[in-house]
Amino acid sequence: MTDLTPAAPATPDPQVLDAFRAATGFMPEDEGLALYAAALEAAGRTGLPLLEIGTYCGRSAILLADAARRAGTVALTVDHHRGSEEQQPGWEYHDPTLVDPEVGLMDTLPRFRRTLHAAGLEPHVVALVGRSPQIAAVWQGRLSLVFIDGGHTDEHATGDYLGWAPHLAEDGLLVVHDVFPDPADGGQAPYRVYLRALDEGFEEVSVTGSLRVLRRAAS
């Protein structure tokens, strides 16, 4: 029998979109919507968790948490919450309001928690606080989607790919942020990860700004 039920739109509800727009972070809206559509598709199809490397203050995690909610699964988000190189004092992306005055280091965890709480999405997200390679090394479960938006050096971006891509389910999605083929537009480490993934059997699904969605080809 033909199912005439209209498919749910692959866009967040207005209040989720408002929370995304209000959140501290770096992701443009068109890239966020592409991430959301990929997350909804991958989690809806497999029922498996979504995973992000690079929580920061929760801007993209809002979208992953809402996609997980709709798909009946959970969004996992990994960060040591001490900031990347370019977010440290004196660097381009430093935000002094994110420094813990007691310890004198960046701490984005409180802002993340407030952001997800205000969006009503806390029950659908699990924060994994620590270094990505250490968590990846002990992780056992399969994932529907891996979103790489952590450290942007070769060491960190490649480590995230090598640590987490093996946990993807067959047909799972790999999403890489800040892919800039032209060095004039930005750092090259995520671009090199993207090229390596294509070389190792991933297929491109979509391109939105600097966001690339790839699918692990069935073996």
The residue number whose beta carbon is nearest to ligand SAM equals 25
Q: Is the dihedral of CA 104, 116, 193, 186 positive or negative?
A: negative
Of 84 and 210, CB closest to ligand SAM: 84
Give the number of residues in contact with ligand SAM, rule: CB under 6 A: 22
- Give the nearest distance from C-beta 156 to ligand SAM in angstroms: 5
Is 124 an annotated catalytic residue? no
**What's the closest the beta carbon of residue 159 comes to ligand SAM, in angstroms?**
7
- For 184, residues 6+ apart whose C-beta sits below 8 A from its C-beta are none
* Site for ligand SAM, residues 84 to 143, rule: CB under 6 A: 84, 108, 131-132
Smallest distance from the beta carbon of 28 to ligand SAM, in angstroms? 10
192 binds ligand SAM (CB under 6 A): no
Q: Which of 154, 173, 157 is nearest to 50 (CA)?
A: 173
Helix extents (H) in the chain:
14-22, 29-46, 59-71, 109-118, 132-138, 154-164, 189-199
Using the rule CB under 6 A, which residue among 60, 73, 144, 188 binds ligand SAM? Answer: 60
Tokens 């056992």 map to which residue?
A: 140
Catalytic residues: 152
